[in-house]
Chain A
């Protein structure tokens, strides 16, 4: 949990507004990186830290909503706070449906923006933790032998050792040994925990 503080990305084509946003966000001690267009942002290399995006809906070139879609498609999504000069309801609904954290209409109160940024960073932080945990489970799962993976799949499907032995054409004693190894390698303290892990990494349930 000792992740570094997050980075706030700002994309706005109005230079003075962009600068003032940077100023405001920096004044609460956050790191800011600002871009004049969606393309510029997409082309940048982002640091591997929690982040969020403050995005103007109406941009020259690729619009804010387009950018949101691109990021979702590329699976590089981070929480987005939209800001707009004159948002309409349809636009707001579209943005929120696509997962926006907040939709602020200019001029907005500074605290509303800063609160939204905090919330967005928190959301990204959680999401990153989740992703890390699942990645850890995947790396443990990769340590299992093929036989152990077969046994694990049947165990989490709720079969008894005897049934598993029958299915795999081996002895019950042998199944017991494999099962013990699975529990150790995956670091599961109980059958229930193993079932949750299997669910998270989405291992295939045998028929």
Chain B
């Protein structure tokens, strides 16, 4: 759309026509105007040279008149007041003052646009006022010429070189342009036009325009900073609006979360008070709104003793980072029962002493977990019993066949002997012998079967092995409210043993301890597991509990197979444990613990590969 050089007059007419719709209207939409300024700066064919439209030299040759400083000063004072009073119209005022002091037919300003591709006319007074908003290309027009040479210039009939100025009527007989500067850089021109021959610009006009040009520079800078300020204000307002809208949206969403009562939410302070809470939170802890309003809710008091440490840890985390990772704990409800919850908290923004927290009721999940765990335990037990039962049955059946045959044949033999039938008796005895061999073969086979899982001995760290078992029993420890302490000596050497077997034994002893205490009444529930080096040849591992202890009568049978005091017990645990330890060349025994409970301990020789 912008090819003014090649365009004809009509095209240019229509283009400028947009900018001059109504006489005298102050068109300030620079963006719109800029679009209508001919931008491209290619010199059209047949354009006259620049020198032919210049007559700057004439200024010095024309009759000289005395400077009218009074008029100049009044104009400048008026401009200064206008700048202070209404900076928005200062450029137009400047154009009018220029028109007045120079006594031109038209006067105005041209400003370089930001992209520096064109000039536009923000303010014009006089005959050209309808052309406000118009302009010229940067590289092909009078303003560009002035800026290029950086001197004032006097033109005559510039439309001869710049045909796009033809529609800018009335045509200019003479045009005097003076550059003005901001920070040493020319940014525009101030100009005056005479539309006929009655008025010839002279050196005094040049002086006056230069004087006004300096003011134009000041006005331009003031306007720029005002624009800047406006932009800044607008930007800030926009940002504030966005933040407000976001906050409103968020507020509505948070309200929805709080009122939805899907999760418990409360605000709290470091003095332990719960300041506000939603219904869900109150429901979880079993208090009502009156309790909350009377200020009687304290999160420290809602926390059972055993979770105090977890709370403190969370508080430390909050103090350090402003928030804490959600963690599981329990709340003490108003009715004295405990409720499992998942809790997370964070400080309120800008506060060091107040925060918000959420709580999620885990009761259902815990119940499901407990049921699952119970089911798993039962299944494991049943499987164990069933497997053993199955094995026993099949061994019994296998063995019973030859035993039955032996009994039958031996009975038959006796009868044959009584009847003096010696041949038959001999055959019966032969059968007895054969079947006896068969029975012992079956027993050998079973023994072979048992041997198929040989010990896999390796050098292993006893303490590490204990830690692994401790990890395994964590669930049982927590479930039964047992305090578990490991007292592991640092100077325990590596031993040569089967890791799985060792773990089985320790696991068995620890589970026995936990089970013994779980049935017990009040009293402390403590379980210790310890390791130490003894006699430089052995490692001693002990598991002691604070349970009811051992019945002296049962001491002799503790390690017998199928001996059990537990209703669901198989009575194999200790028997197998002892045989595993003895297979390692160690000893396993039980004594009473002081003041109560039992100690099961075993030694293992540090060993060598030869022992394996």
Contacts and interface: CB of A to CB of B under 8 A. Distances in A.
A17 B408 CA distance: 8
Contacts of A86: 393, 396-397, 400
A24 interface: yes
A21 interface: yes
A27 B412 CA distance: 5
A164 B416 CA distance: 67
Contact of A85 (B397, B415, B424): B397
B397 A24 contact: no
A14 B442 CA distance: 15
A23 interface: yes
B402 A23 contact: no
Nearest to B421: A27
A177 interface: no
Interface stretch (B20-28, B327-335, B427-435): B427-435
A24 B412 contact: yes
Interface string B405-448: 11111011101100101001001100100110010000000000
B401 interface: yes
B287 to A, nearest CB: 58
A23 B408 contact: yes
Contacts of B407: 20, 107-108, 110
Contact of B404 (A20, A23, A26, A28): A20
B409 A20 contact: yes
Nearest to A16: B405
B53 interface: no
A107 B411 contact: no
A16 B401 CA distance: 8
Interface in A27-43: 27-28
Interface in B549-563: none
B127 to A, nearest CB: 125
Contact of A23 (B396, B400, B403, B431): B431
B397 A19 contact: no
A27 B411 contact: yes
Interface string A99-112: 00000001110110
A27 B401 contact: no
Interface in B507-530: none
Contacts of A85: 396-397, 400-401
Interface in A73-127: 85-86, 106-108, 110-111
B387 to A, nearest CB: 17
A178 B435 CA distance: 71
A16 B434 contact: yes
A155 to B, nearest CB: 56
A46 B397 CA distance: 31
B403 A27 contact: no
B415 A16 contact: no
Nearest to B438: A16
Interface in A16-69: 16-17, 19-21, 23-24, 26-28
B419 A107 contact: no
A28 B396 contact: no
B21 to A, nearest CB: 111
A17 B396 contact: no
A19 B431 contact: yes
Contacts of B431: 16, 19-20, 23
A24 B400 contact: no
Nearest to B432: A20
12 contacts: A17-B408, A20-B406, A24-B409, A26-B412, A27-B411, A27-B412, A27-B413, A27-B421, A27-B424, A86-B400, A106-B403, A110-B411
Interface of B: 393, 396-397, 400-409, 411-413, 415-416, 419, 421, 424, 427-428, 431, 434-435, 438
Interface of A: 14, 16-17, 19-21, 23-24, 26-28, 85-86, 106-108, 110-111
Given A20-B408, A23-B428, A106-B403, 11 more contacts: A14-B405, A20-B404, A20-B406, A23-B408, A23-B412, A26-B412, A26-B424, A27-B411, A85-B397, A110-B407, A110-B411
Q: Which 10 A-B pairs have the closest CB atoms?
A: A110-B411, A20-B408, A27-B415, A20-B405, A27-B412, A23-B412, A24-B412, A20-B409, A24-B408, A106-B404
